[in-house]
Amino acid sequence: MEKHFQICLTTFALLALSLSALVAADDVVVLSQENFEKEVGQDRGALVEFYAPWCGHCKKLAPEFEKLGTTFKKAKSVLIAKVDCDDQKSLCSKFDVSGYPTIKWFPKGSLEPKKYEGPRTAEALAEFVNTEGGTNVKIATVPSNVVVLTADNFNEVVLDETKDVLVEFYAPWCGHCKSLAPTYEKVATAFKLEEDVEIANVDADKYKDLAEKYGVSGFPTLKFFPKNNKAGEEYEGGRDLEDFVAFINEKSGTSRDGKGQLTSKAGIVASLDALVKEFVAASNEEKKAVFAHIEEEVEKLTGSSARYGKIYSKAAKSSLAKGADYAKKEIERLQRILDKSISPAKADEFTLKKNILSTFA
């Protein structure tokens, strides 16, 4: 019995390892010794990047290879994958990998690869894959949510005292800048619906005067220009998506996650929250007096808080008219809408209402 249990446990562990090894780093599949021959040399061609995490050229290639993976994500006849040679030394040795990055094409049904020797751009790689794999896939052009700054619009965007602006000073030839690019785009996408936040970048190699003015001597340099400090302050946080999101949420008072969705804290105004607790606990007659206080407090609010205040006021008014169950029923209705496929803007609108109504429930 014990032996049977150990065998089952071992089998489960191997299965979990196999599944985790096939997890995609976004749209590029991660390969290892355990799953390589299950995925490569089978019923589809495979373009595999053999890389090392510390390699500068690999970091420079990363956003291009990721773009390639996204482009071929739905192409069933092609696999875009990568192998970490620091972690999978024997696998890389097996395929004669001696430098990084090494990119190899494995034809359908074969483990005899052909080395890729062309330019390391998504466009060139896609052309190679199309030729070798018999596909006709084009690199998708995705509109950027990063505001591009120049000498002409820098002051207009960055020095706008109604906006908190994060600026990346970069150089086109900088490997670290290219590595940061896909993450920075995700940051911009996460905050694209925030009216008071801008995520921007400027080619500091082209606009040297701007780089000099703001003391930029290395790339990438990130500076944050909040509403109340247009001299700018150095961003010294981490460079993962979560680091940037946490920084902006803290500095700008926003409540977003890495996917750009509002968290349960979005829309909550502390001064009104206290009054709502008083409103909920009050008798029907007393509620009218508390409601008047809520409206007075709403009048004092500015910026995005003023918009949230109107939702508080409307929720309190509806609770007075429709009874104590109003908030609970409305939350359930909003959740049903949120469970459907709706636009990001509508999702924001209904999430804010739901969050604020939850303080009345």
Question: In which domain, by residue range, is 200 found?
Answer: 147-252
Last residue of a domain, one of 252, 280, 303: 252
Least confident range of 38-42, 137-141, 178-182: 137-141
Q: What is the CATH number of the domain that holds 111?
A: 3.40.30.10
DSSP state of 100: S
Task: Please indicate, yes or no, whether residues 126 and 228 belong to a single structural domain of this protein.
Answer: no
Last residue of a domain, one of 110, 133, 156: 133
Task: Please indicate, yes or no, whether residues 193 and 313 belong to a single structural domain of this protein.
Answer: no
Can you state the angle between helices 270-281 and 303-322, rounded to 10 degrees? Answer: 10
Q: Is residue 75 situated within a structural domain?
A: yes
Q: Which residue has the higher pLDDT, 133 or 12?
A: 133
Q: Is residue 262 situated within a structural domain?
A: no
- Convert the pLDDT of each residue in 79-107 to its tens digit: 999 999 999 999 999 999 999 999 999 99
Last residue of a domain, one of 252, 279, 305: 252
- Convert the pLDDT of each residue in 193-250 to its tens digit: 998 999 999 999 999 999 999 999 999 999 999 999 999 999 999 999 999 999 999 9
175-187 CB burial, b ≥16 within 10 A, e <16:
bbbbbbbbbbbbb
Task: Please indicate, yes or no, whether residues 155 and 209 belong to a single structural domain of this protein.
Answer: yes
pTM: 0.63
Task: Please indicate, yes or no, whether residues 33 and 129 belong to a single structural domain of this protein.
Answer: yes
Residues tagged active-site: 55, 58, 174, 177
User: How far is the C-alpha of 265 from the C-alpha of 333, rounded, in Å?
Assistant: 19
Among the listed residues 207, 248, 223, the one whose alpha carbon sits nearest the alpha carbon of residue 168: 223
Question: In which residue are the tokens 């466009």 written?
Answer: 123
Residue 18 clears pLDDT 70, i.e. is over it:
no
DSSP state of 220: S
User: Counting Cβ atoms within 10 Å, is residue 77 exposed (0-12), middle (13-18) or buried (19+)?
Assistant: middle
Q: Is residue 194 situated within a structural domain?
A: yes
Task: Please indicate, yes or no, whether residues 243 and 120 belong to a single structural domain of this protein.
Answer: no
- Convert the pLDDT of each residue in 290-342 to its tens digit: 999 999 999 999 878 899 999 999 999 999 999 889 999 999 999 999 999 89
Q: Is residue 22 situated within a structural domain?
A: yes
Task: Please indicate, yes or no, whether residues 242 and 282 belong to a single structural domain of this protein.
Answer: no
